[in-house]
A and B are shown apart, each in its own frame.
Chain A
Amino acid sequence: MTTATLASYSLTVIYSAMGVYLFAFIAFTLDLAKRSSEIPVAAVVSEARVGKMSRAGGTATLERAPVVVPVGRKSSRFERVAFALTILGWVLHVFGTVLRGVAAGRVPWANMFEFSLTASAIIVGVFVVVQLWQNLMFLGAYITGFSLIILGFGTVGFYVNVVPLPPALQSYWLVIHVFVATLGTAFFAIGAGLSLVQLIQTRREANRFSGLKFLDTMPDAGSLETLAYRVIVIGFIFWTFTLMAGAIWAEHAWGRYWGWDTKEVWTFIIWTLFAGYLHARATRGWRGSRSAYLAIVGFGAVMFNFTIVNLFFKGLHTYSGL
């Protein structure tokens, strides 16, 4: 098959993935609506008991300090459908992205279009995988909606035909550096989503307004903040690695590891913002909403770097392919 046919198949598959994501998005939104009508299940406080330790057969009781055990919410049908659709869309999405790579005969992240395919695939992928560790279904609408927007811009605004790599990009560092940057972006995206819900939840907890009842089914602001922190820490490590791998690559390609090129500047800005976030989390008076705002600003800078900087700023990294 020729490059052009493969590329067009890839695009078709991507469009189908977008269609499936759209339904997933709708189902997630319906789930949020449904959550509003649920009667919040009160957290149960387990009673203190004293336990015994004995040879098999003896009596035993166990003492625990009183712990609040949040009762897991039963997932709604909408949620299960939405998640199944997300996985289906994601499989198509990955398949389309891989096809694009096959068409080009290289990794599918060498220009803006390909980067939006890969980045959104990784964001959804991380979202799906994270569910194994922690139920973050309430972010489903955010994640699928966000990926739809990226894919929409990617396919409509940034589509380019397959072209070979210019000599400066012919390096295994392209594979490592860009892939890890994308992974970091995915974690930052989820972190920003959690921080956003955290901010809303904080407001709600503070003045107890009765709207947005579906928030009752989500973790409280404190847990959301802890979750966001854990996710962002992982993103930060990937970003640190991205910055270093980029410096090593720049050293190979341009003869200097750091030259304050536009893209380097923004990678640095993002890194520094998130270092500030990590500090805020350890500074008295800065936990809570303030660090949540920082996490969102940091992710805003990531998006700015990916869109505005790539398209409108001049520099050595002009690889948008447009």
Chain B
Amino acid sequence: MSRPSDHIESPAPSKKDDGVAQPKLTVVGYLRFFWRQLTSMRTAMFLLLLLAIAAVPGSLFPQRSSDPNGVTLYFTNNPSTAPVLDKLQLFDVYTSAWFSAIYLLLFISLIGCVIPRTIYHARALMSAPPKTPARLERLGAFSAFEIEAGETDAAGVPLTAAAAVETGRAVLRKGGYRVKLFDGRGPSGSEFSVSAERGYLRETGNLVFHIALIGILISVGIGGGVGYTGQKVLVVGQAFANVRLTFDSFTPGRFFSDSELQPYRLVLNKFTTKYEQTNLNAYGQPIDYKANVTTYDAAGKPTKAVIKVNDPLNIGGNEIYLLGNGYAPSITVRNPAGKIVYSEPVPFLPQNANLLSLGIVKVPDGLSSQLGMRAFFYPTAAVNAAGDLASTYPDLRNPMLSLVVYKGDLGINAGVPKSVYALDTDKMTELAGPGAASGKMALRLKPGETAQIPGGLGSITFDNKAPASDKTDVAKSVSRFASLDVHRDPAKGWVLFFALCVLGGLLTSLFIPRRRIWIKAVELADGRLRLEYAGLARGEDPALDAAVTAIARRHSQQLGLRLMS
């Protein structure tokens, strides 16, 4: 069996051998029946269409893999339907049982289809073209010519059928055809013919295409299994070492082992941003982000490098990507005696295009009570028409911090992990902010300013990070952070390799015509010679007629004759 039995070029099914006929009622009969169904063209096509349809819901519902926050939001907004959808795995479509079932079936079908075809094709590659059909004129592309008795060839030797076919063989071979000579007696006299075939690459390309698809699936699976991804937020000046614990979050593949982590260290020296200033239609739109880093290999040798958005850094088997950035205001908290109990740059999450950012500060120790703050940072603060603070530009022009302060139980002692970006104020009282009983408003600080915490708990300082020589330069007063994604996917190169095979196979199989051509020379009873040319396309072949005509023309030229019509 070369191709699925319902392939358009396979012989039409006989009544007995019909693919939909009742299988013999034995286990083997059923299995064979089932296998033939699974590896049929129709099944492959249905599974492909089904796969396309099954992929649709993944674009309608937020997916945990690409949009975890969206999923959380969906649960909040649709508390009654979300759990049902979740049961149906509609938030994990691409890893769901049903989606996996479709593509696994498709690939089983693919393997079952490709193996017999490969074997058949390998045999075809080693065998000669088939015998010349008895009646060439039945073929679509056909033409015939007659030559007067006693005609000579270019060298002046009388033309015989055998000599004409020998010349034809040479012409076809030069044209890249695989050839075989046949001779025998036809109805009208002794005849010689050459049977030629070309375009085996078409089938080869098709097989390469399908096998490479399997290659892609396997490489993607392996890559996801042994690779990992990690996220790290680095404030300018901070460093991270490639150790699992230093990552803010780390997602290993199923077969990951810590030995894959190669030792290196990376320091974020500088983070530069550029925003549009001249084009008023795009005022403040980001134009460039650049992270200057120094890396240290296991031996401690430093190397300087730059990471940009479309330009990751390769180091230690990793790619490091710049995926996000923002401000990390430095906040220092002192107790009433003036002793520092907290001093850290706090990465704030950007909330809008002008980088209004939200941050959480938790001070668990050192004061008479635990302290929590929910803070907004405005890189360019301005009071809008409604009297509220807003940020009007993403760069630092008028930086301002607004802090809502709580005291009480931060809820972090119970050992339950808490997100650093969330503050649970259930067991806390608001000291300053819109809900403070004292009526004290949120604390507003500019870089370098200090405010007392209401209730005599101590003080809060918004540190000015500008260098001592340049203290008045607000543009340098607040540090930035870069959020880096560290990836390892050792099978990535293979995915690319197989993808290129897919493309190459596709081009070959769609554009290389596969065709058979025959030249037959018949010695007629009256001494004349009849030359016949015919072609048969296998698969789509728009140029078959032209090819047969060209062969006939070249052949006659070789014979020193001219085609006339």
User: A interface vs B, CB < 8 Å?
Assistant: 3, 50-56, 58-65, 160-168, 170-171, 173, 226, 229-230, 233, 236-237, 240-241, 244, 247-249, 251-262, 265-266, 268-269, 272-273, 275-276, 279-287, 294, 301, 309, 313-316
Contacts and interface: CB of A to CB of B under 8 A. Distances in A.
Nearest to A316: B66
Most chain A CB neighbours (cut-off 10 Å) among B145, B289, B319: B145
A313 B59 contact: yes
Contacts of A287: 8
Given A167-B286, A314-B67, A54 B310 contact: no
A269 B66 contact: no
Given A257-B495, A314-B70, A282 B8 contact: yes
A250 to B, nearest CB: 10
A282 B148 contact: no
Contacts of B373: none
Contact of B562 (A56, A65, A254, A309): A56
Given A252-B310, A259-B66, A282-B8, A276 B48 contact: yes
Interface in B461-502: 485, 487, 489, 492, 495-496, 499, 502
B10 interface: yes
B261 interface: no
Interface in B43-77: 44-45, 48-49, 51-52, 55-56, 58-59, 62-63, 65-67, 70
B55 A268 contact: yes
Interface in B88-102: 93-94
Given A170-B309, A255-B321, A282 B143 contact: no
B522 to A, nearest CB: 13
B282 interface: yes
A265 B492 contact: no
A63 B520 CA distance: 14
B6 interface: yes
B502 to A, nearest CB: 7
B81 interface: no
Interface string B553-564: 000100111111
Interface stretch (B239-247, B433-441, B503-511): B503-511
Given A255-B485, A268-B55, A51 B143 contact: yes
Interface in B158-174: none
Given A50-B144, A52-B147, A230 B542 contact: yes
B243 to A, nearest CB: 20
Contacts of B559: 53
Interface of B: 6-10, 12, 41-42, 44-45, 48-49, 51-52, 55-56, 58-59, 62-63, 65-67, 70, 93-94, 137-140, 142-148, 151, 220, 229, 276, 279, 281-282, 285-289, 308-312, 319, 321, 323, 485, 487, 489, 492, 495-496, 499, 502-503, 506-507, 510, 531, 540, 542, 556, 559-565
Contacts of A258: 220
Contacts of B41: 279, 282-284
Contact of B282 (A54, A164, A261, A284): A164
Given A166-B285, A282-B41, A313-B59, A53 B147 contact: yes
Contacts of A165: 287
B105 to A, nearest CB: 14
Given A51-B564, A260-B63, A283-B45, A255 B487 contact: yes
A279 B7 CA distance: 9
Given A164-B287, A314-B70, A284 B8 contact: yes
A55 B279 contact: no
A265 B58 contact: yes
Given A229-B540, A280-B45, A240 B144 contact: no
Contacts, number: 208
Contacts of A255: 229, 312, 319, 321, 323, 485, 487
Given A53-B564, A252-B312, A253-B309, A276 B146 contact: no
Contacts of A261: 66
Contact of B45 (A236, A249, A279): A279
B323 to A, nearest CB: 7
Given A167-B286, A253-B310, A259 B65 contact: yes
B311 A252 contact: yes
A163 B276 contact: yes
A276 B49 contact: yes
A277 to B, nearest CB: 9
Contact of A51 (B62, B139, B146, B496): B146
Contacts of B10: 284
A3 B143 contact: no
Contacts of B308: 167
Given A50-B146, A170-B309, A283 B42 contact: yes
Contacts of B12: 284
Contacts of B279: 3, 162-164
Nearest to B142: A65
A320 to B, nearest CB: 15
B48 A272 contact: yes
Contacts of B489: 256
Contacts of A266: 59
B531 to A, nearest CB: 7
A314 to B, nearest CB: 7
A309 B59 contact: yes
A188 to B, nearest CB: 15
A256 B58 contact: no
Most chain A CB neighbours (cut-off 10 Å) among B310, B311, B312: B310
Contact of B286 (A54, A166, A173): A166
Given A162-B281, A171-B310, A265-B58, A64 B52 contact: no
A54 B564 contact: yes
B502 A53 contact: no
A247 B63 contact: no
B560 to A, nearest CB: 8
Contacts of B309: 167-168, 170, 253
13 contacts: A53-B147, A59-B564, A60-B563, A62-B565, A164-B285, A167-B289, A226-B542, A237-B507, A253-B321, A261-B66, A281-B8, A283-B8, A284-B6
A284 B13 CA distance: 10
Contacts of A259: 65-66
Contacts of A315: 59, 66
Contacts of A268: 52, 55
Given A52-B146, A53-B556, A237 B310 contact: no
B564 A64 contact: no
B506 A61 contact: no
B45 A276 contact: yes
B124 to A, nearest CB: 18
**Nearest 10 CB-CB pairings of A with B:** A60-B564, A163-B282, A161-B281, A255-B321, A62-B565, A167-B309, A276-B48, A53-B145, A279-B45, A272-B52
Contacts of B288: 167, 170
Contacts of A65: 137-140, 142
B47 to A, nearest CB: 9
Given A166-B285, A255-B323, A284-B7, A233 B510 contact: yes
A63 B144 contact: yes
Most chain B CB neighbours (cut-off 10 Å) among A163, A262, A266, A282: A282
Contacts of B94: 260
B37 to A, nearest CB: 13
A284 B492 CA distance: 38
Contacts of A50: 144-146
Contacts of A236: 506
Nearest to A243: B499
